[in-house]
């Protein structure tokens, strides 16, 4: 098994796919990413929670698209602005996380991951594992499982 560790003892490297979300640099563990998609046709789902942007067809599989801006209560994307998505799998279901832009894949030392600063807004803190201080900016590592855990009561 040549598994790439996403977190591990000091010295190990973690690999992240970085993305932009309302001018914030974020990252998700590369192993959680199945696909990166450009702008897609998304069929809206009536009565769905507002975080759910709709369904899309990924090579014959139905993928539920979650708008991360809505999920994290960020301002809406500008009208007509394109979105990219990161496809991830949870419990044999596929989800597409809609983000503004998918940037690159970076490897960072596992030891560099710092705890969330206590002042981080609650919604961010709740959905991030920690942050990295990069040279110029901060990278928030998102917790994909938490992001996909939509509160049913809140959704209804």
Partner 1 sequence: MDDLLAEFLTETNESLAELDLALVKLERTPDDKGTLSLIFRMVHTIKGTCGFLGLPRLEHVAHAGENVLGRVRDGELTVTTGVITLVLSALDRIKEIVAALGATGVEPPGDDEPLIAALNRVAAGEPAPEPAAEAQHGEEPDQPRPPAAAAPPAPIRETATEGSVASEAPPAEGQAALQTIRVSVEVLEELMTLVGELVLTRNQLLQISRAQGNTAFSPPLERLSHITSDLQDGVMKTRMQPIGNAWNKLPRLVRDLAKETGKKIELEMRGQDTELDRQILELMRDPLTHMVRNSADHGLEMPDVRRAAGKSETGRIMLNARHEGGHILIEVEDDGRGLDVTRIRAKVLAQGLATESELAAMTESQIHSFIFRAGFSTAAVVTSISGRGVGMDVVRSNIERIGGAIELTSTLGKGSCFTIKIPLTLAIVSALIVKACGERFAIPQISVRELVRVGEASSTGGLSIDYIGPTAVLRLRDRLLPLVSLGALLRMEGADDGGRVPAAATVIVTAVGSGLLGIVVEEVFDTEEIVVKPVAPILRHVTMFSGNTILGDGSVIMILDPNGVARSAGVSASRETRDAPAALAAIGARSDEQMSLLLFRAGGEANLRAVPLSLVARLEDIPRDRIERSSAGSVTQYRGKLMPLVGVDGDGQWAADPPPTQPILVFVEGARTMGLMVDAIVDVVQDKLRIELGSSSPGLLGTAVIAGQAADVLDTAFWLNRAWHDWLDTTPETEAKPRGLLLVEDSNFFRQLLVPSLAAAGYEVTSAGSAEEALSLRDAGRMFEVIVSDIEMPGMDGLDFARKVRDSGPWRDLPMIALSGRTSGADVERGRSAGFSDYVAKSAGADLLASLRQCLSEQALPL
Binding residues for partner 1 restricted to 93-112, rule: CB under 8 A: 93, 95
Least distance between partner 1 and beta carbon 83 (Å):
17
Residue 38 binds partner 1 (CB under 8 A): no
Question: Binding of partner 1 at residue 9 (CB under 8 A)?
Answer: no
Of the ranges 30-38, 48-56, 71-79, 116-124, which one interacts with partner 1 (CB under 8 A)? 48-56
The beta strands (E) that lie in 13-137 are given as 13-21, 24-29, 35-37, 52-58, 61-67, 84-90, 93-99, 101-109, 128-133
Of 21, 17, 20, the residue nearest 32 (C-alpha): 17
Cα(138)–Cα(145) distance, integer angstroms:
21
Does 156 help bind partner 1 (rule: CB under 8 A)? yes
Using CB under 8 A, pick the residue from 59, 79, 104, 154 that binds partner 1: 59
Contact 96, 49 (CB under 8 A): no
Among 2, 10, 38, 60, which residue interacts with partner 1 (rule: CB under 8 A)? Answer: 60
Neighbours of 32 (CB within 10 A): 19
Interface contacts to partner 1, rule CB under 8 A: 41, 43-49, 52, 54-57, 59-62, 64, 91, 93, 95, 148, 150, 152, 155-156
């Amino acid at each position: 098994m040549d598994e790439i560790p996403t977190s591990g003892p000091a010295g190990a490297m973690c690999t992240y796919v970085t993305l932009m979300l309302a001018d914030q640099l974020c990252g998700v563990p590369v192993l959680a990413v199945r696909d990166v998609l450009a702008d897609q046709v998304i069929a809206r789902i009536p009565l769905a929670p507002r975080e759910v942007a709709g369904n899309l067809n990924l090579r014959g599989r139905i993928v539920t698209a979650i708008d991360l801006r809505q999920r994290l209560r960020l301002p809406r994307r500008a009208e007509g602005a394109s979105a990219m998505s990161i496809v991830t799998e949870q419990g044999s279901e596929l989800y597409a996380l809609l983000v503004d832009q998918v940037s690159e894949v970076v490897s960072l030392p596992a030891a560099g991951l710092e705890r969330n600063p206590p002042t981080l807004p609650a919604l961010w803190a709740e959905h991030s594992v920690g942050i990295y201080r990069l040279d110029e900016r901060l990278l928030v590592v998102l917790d994909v499982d938490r992001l996909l855990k939509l509160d049913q009561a809140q959704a209804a």
